[in-house]
Amino acid sequence: MLATQIPLDFIKCTQCHSKRPLSSHQQGGNSSLQCPDCGSVFPKIDNVVGMISKERDKDTLKKFEHQWAVWGGDKVIFGKTSEEYEDRYLKEFANPIIKKGWFAGKRTLDAGCGHGMMVEVFNRLGAASVGLELGDGVFRAARRLEGKDILLVQGDILDIPFQENSFDYVYSNGVIHHTRDTRLAFKKLASIVKPGGGLDIWLYPKKGILWETTMYTGRLLTTRIPPALLSKLVYLLIPLLYVVPTWSRTSPRTHTLKQCAQVIYDWLSPKYQTHHTFDEVKKWYEEEGFEGIGEVKTTPLSMFGTKKSH
């Protein structure tokens, strides 16, 4: 893999949180970054920088590692190819400050990038495209993105490995509601957006009491099932997708059984899963100094906002 041309000066030491940039080192075939203050060394393997320095949440790792081991190498993930991700993003998700030509010369982050398809999309749109991911799935994403000038960082949103005001645009789809503190994760992502930059977040919307109670009760059981077993059991539930629409619009009418199974596994496996309302998340944006806050009506709860410049 070619070494990325994206400068690494916005990466922050996760040991001492120094504001000074890490220095790059090369010894034999090994690359690393080193903190000028505490001396911590972080490995760089091809285009993946390892910035984990604290214990990660075990359940999140276990459930998503399994998901990416089973589905992460497929061409269609959450019902879409990379081209379909781009198409739907440009038609529906984009923050109004963002137009197709907007990405050239901008630095973007997909936080919780999983399979890496959106890192690929932002790269194709012309951005210096960075992906952040907690688990070793980041190495599968690296294989998918082989040969592209992108940067992947293995790190935790809750211990964000980037300096404040580093990105023109931060995107995070279906991620922070799987952390142990969704509000804190939002704050961390808001902090790394540059003034005038955009923050787009998709979270599970809170629905009626019947839905919320049924899901809460069902997930008390399913989150305790070992991932290898759950990823097989979910095939039994696929007929439900004829009547229950999914956020990704994956359905047995248009998708394979394996693609449907992923969506159900994703919903039923992780321990942490919070649901939110528009007013609640709008307040988060306001508290973090954002304006132009809105929701993509076709996909609740897909929210956008722009960081105030003053």
Ligand X SMILES: C[S@@+](CC[C@H](N)C(=O)[O-])C[C@H]1O[C@@H](n2cnc3c(N)ncnc32)[C@H](O)[C@@H]1O
Residues that bind ligand X (CB under 6 A): 60, 64, 78, 112-114, 132-135, 137, 156-158, 173-175, 178-179, 266
In terms of CB distance, is 39 or 245 closer to Zn ion?
39
DSSP string for residues in 97-165? T--GGGGTT-EEEEET-TT-HHHHHHHHTT-EEEEEESSTHHHHHHHHTTTS--EEEE-BTTB--B-TT
Q: How far is the CB of 85 from ligand X (least distance, A)?
A: 8
Select from 231, 203, 196 the least CA-distant residue to 310: 196
Select from 269, 227, 262 the least CA-distant residue to 72: 262
Q: How far is the CB of 116 from ligand X (least distance, A)?
A: 9
Q: Which two tokens stand for residue 281?
A: 């998340």
Residue given tokens 């038609």 in the structure block: 91
Q: Rounded to the nearest 10 degrees, what angle do helices 137-144 and 117-124 cross at?
A: 40
Task: Please report the beta strands in the chain, taking only residues with DSSP state E, as ranges in sequence order.
Answer: 23-27, 30-34, 41-45, 48-50, 107-111, 128-133, 151-154, 167-173, 193-202, 290-296, 302-307
Among 38, 104, 184, 228, binds Zn ion (CB under 5 A): 38
Q: How far is the CB of 135 from Zn ion (least distance, A)?
A: 23
The entry of Zn ion, ligand X, none that residue 38 binds, CB within 5 to 8 Å by partner kind: Zn ion
The entry of ligand X, Zn ion, none that residue 119 binds, CB within 5 to 8 Å by partner kind: none
Task: Please report the beta strands in 193-301, taking only residues with DSSP state E, as ranges in sequence order.
Answer: 193-202, 290-296
- Specify the amino acid at residue 297: K
Residue given tokens 């919780």 in the structure block: 112
In terms of CB distance, is 121 or 128 closer to ligand X?
121
The entry of Zn ion, ligand X, none that residue 174 binds, CB within 5 to 8 Å by partner kind: ligand X
Of 28-36, 170-178, 208-216, 266-274, which part binds Zn ion (CB under 5 A)?
28-36
Among 6, 15, 70, 194, binds Zn ion (CB under 5 A): 15
The entry of Zn ion, ligand X, none that residue 266 binds, CB within 5 to 8 Å by partner kind: ligand X
Among 6, 18, 24, 57, binds Zn ion (CB under 5 A): 18
In terms of CB distance, is 72 or 305 closer to ligand X?
72
53 lies in the binding site for Zn ion (CB under 5 A): no
Select from 135, 136, 150 the least CA-distant residue to 82: 150
The entry of ligand X, Zn ion, none that residue 18 binds, CB within 5 to 8 Å by partner kind: Zn ion
**Residue 94, helix vs strand vs coil:** coil
In terms of CB distance, is 45 or 158 closer to ligand X?
158
Of 37-45, 52-60, 106-114, 144-152, which part binds Zn ion (CB under 5 A)?
37-45
Count the site residues for Zn ion by CB under 5 A. 8
13 lies in the binding site for Zn ion (CB under 5 A): yes
Interaction site with Zn ion (CB under 5 A): 13, 15-16, 18, 35, 37-38, 40
